Structures are given as C-alpha cells and as structure tokens.
Amino acid sequence: MLVTKQPVLRRFWYALMPITHLDDGPKPFTLLGEDLVVWKQSDGTPAALRDRCCHRTARLSEGWVNEAGHITCGYHGWQYDCSGACVKIPQLTSEKIPPGAKVPSFRCVEKYGYVWVALEEPLAGIPDFPEDGQPGYRRIFQFYQEWQTSPVRVMENSFDNSHFSFVHKANFGLLEQPRPAPYEFRETDYGFEAITTVPIRNPESSHRVTGTTEPVTDRHLVNRYYLPFCRRFGCSYPASGVDHIIYNCATPIDDGRIMLVQWLYRNDSEESCSTQALIDWDAAITAEDRDILEATDPDACIDTRRKVEFHMPSDQPGLIIRRQLMALLTAHGEAEVFRT
C-alpha cells in the first residue's frame, strides 16, 4: 500500500520523536510525504508547521526558536507562531504584515514523552496506554530509528509469532519448536487484542530481563493492534511476575520508509534490571526484525486475497490487519486492492 496515496491515513495521530529532541531547537520530520518542522514553544508544548517559509520557501527547520517561542526563518528572519501566521517581518517598519503571510499548521501535542502529529482532523484520539504513570511501572525510551520498509509490514511482523524460532534464534527463539501457539482474538473499536502464551529460550544474558533462570520459560502475551500503525507487545513472564510491555508506532515517512518509535514499561526497578540492559536487549531483537523486514517487498498491497494459498494459520493476525485496513479505506472511499 502506498501510504501517501491514502488521504484517510492523514486523519490519525502519529508519534514522531521524543519531545526532548526539541530541546536544542527545531527539527525536520517527513510524515506521509509531508515535510514538517517541529519545535518546542516557550511554554514547553510542541508545534508543527509545513517546513517552508512562505517568503522564499526556505526550510524553517534551518532556523531557530526565539524567546517568544516563535520559529524564525534563517533566511530573512520572518517569524511564525504555532498557527502558522507570520508575526514579524524584520525588514518592515510601519507596514502591516500581509494577511496571506502564513504557513500551513498541523495538530501537534506531547503524550507519553513523545511528539504526536495529525495532519488532518483525527478520526480517533491518541491510543490509551494504561501503564503510563501507573504506580510501580517505569517508562523507558528505547528506539527512534528510520527503517526502509512499510508500516503494514511492521504491523504484520509484530503479531507473527512463527518468525520467533528463525529470526530470533540467536536470542530467545526455539529453533526446535517452530509451530507457534494459537492466538485468541477479540476485535475492538481500535483494532484487535490477541492473547497467547509462547515458550522461549532463556539464556543467561536474559535472566535479568525475564526475572527467572529457567532455561526455557513462558511469555504470556496480551498484544493489541491500534489502527492504523501502532501496537502493544504486552509481555508478562508468569514465572517471575515481571511485565515487559512495549509500545511502538510504525510512523510512515513516505511509501518506502517508516520511523520506528518504541518505548517500554516495566514493573520492576533499576536495581533488578538496568535501563541500559533493557535497551540493549530489545535493540538486538529489534535489529533482527529490521534486517528481515528490509529484505521484504515494502509494497504490502492491501489485498486479503494476495497469495492466500501460501498463508499459514499463524498468518491470521496479518490477515486481520489487512482486512481492517481495507475496511478503513473502503469506509472513506479510498479502497486499494492493488498498488496505486
């Protein structure tokens, strides 16, 4: 699916980057092919405009934020507020600023420590992640990486337990147990919830991650898919009672690239397992996913009949994702069966 050709996808919230990335000035970001500039205003809230000055089309991301919290073009010093209105032209003295001196603005908020943007009126709010701020849970920022793949591919892979034994054989995969346990599905107003229990290898390097020294242990998974491109990896280790809950967004940059934004919630302490150990552990696993996904066709055409004769029972989550995306596109008159 060519995400830039589906206007309805502009009507969802996407996580762009940790808000701390804006501490040293404005940053560029391309979302669904739209070039944005994002910055932090004087009150600490983020703002987003099209990354072009309306004067000579210079990139506003090459400028800076002034004391008033307005973004200043680095070419001629024109200043813009969060609505996109030009509020100062230094070369003018008594003349009024032309009323058409304006840059398109976009909805932009901070949540869960990240900058979120919706290009048009959202069809749904930012997903509710109930672990955030709950007593006993700590939030750990993990990844903010550009991948050469499509968001559909990432979502399919996120629910594909049959790849564990092969892609992750160097970490937790059990090569001798390639058949995954079945999911129990419940479709929701935001996507679906999928529940299963998966046995995994537990090498010494992961003992502090899993909270147990058993050579093989179980993961109880309560995974959730949020339309269009967010997911919850709700992992609990029954042997230790440790929760390892990952949220990530496959934020579409353009038709062949995504920004993977990922963070983690744990119900343990720094002394039990350090932040760096958790980042390193998931980084190695995520790198394996990235390598295999970047070796696939990024097209991921939204056609539930595509190569259906090759699908295995474990492909059911991917088929549901495609069906729900197809329903979304159809509901808004933008159904795509083949690449367009």
Could you say which residues of the chain have pLDDT below 70?
299-314, 334-340
Residue 265: inside a domain, yes or no? Answer: yes
Instruction: Based on the fold, state whether residues 65 and 200 are members of the same structural domain.
Output: no
Q: Which of 118, 147, 171 is the last residue of a domain?
A: 118
Q: Within a domain: residue 124? A: no
pLDDT value, residue 314: 62
**Residue 132 falls inside a structural domain:** no
Whether residue 201 is found in the same domain as residue 310: yes
Residue 305 is predicted with a pLDDT of 52
User: Tell me, what's the pLDDT at 175?
Assistant: 84
Tens of pLDDT, residue by residue over 221-246, are 999 999 999 999 999 999 999 999 99
Asked whether residue 108 falls in the same domain as residue 231, the answer is: no
Let me know whether 238 and 145 are in one domain: yes
What's the total number of domains in the chain? 2
Task: Quote the pLDDT of residue 340.
Answer: 39
Q: Judge if 100 and 155 occupy the same domain.
A: no
Does 142 lie in the same domain as 107?
Answer: no
Q: Give me the count of residues in the chain.
A: 340
Residue 146's domain comprises: 138-331
Q: What is the pLDDT of residue 237?
A: 97
What pLDDT score does 177 carry? 84
Residues 49 and 77 in one domain: yes
Q: Is residue 123 part of a domain?
A: no
Does residue 106 share a domain with residue 255? no
Note whether 92 and 180 are same-domain residues.
no
Q: What is the pTM of this model?
A: 0.91
CATH at residue 269: 3.90.380.10
Q: Is 233 within the bounds of a domain?
A: yes
Q: Is residue 125 situated within a structural domain?
A: no
Residue 146 within any structural domain of the chain: yes
CA-to-CA dists, residue 140 to 63, 123, 194, 328, angstroms: 31, 28, 24, 32
Establish if 243 belongs to a structural domain. yes
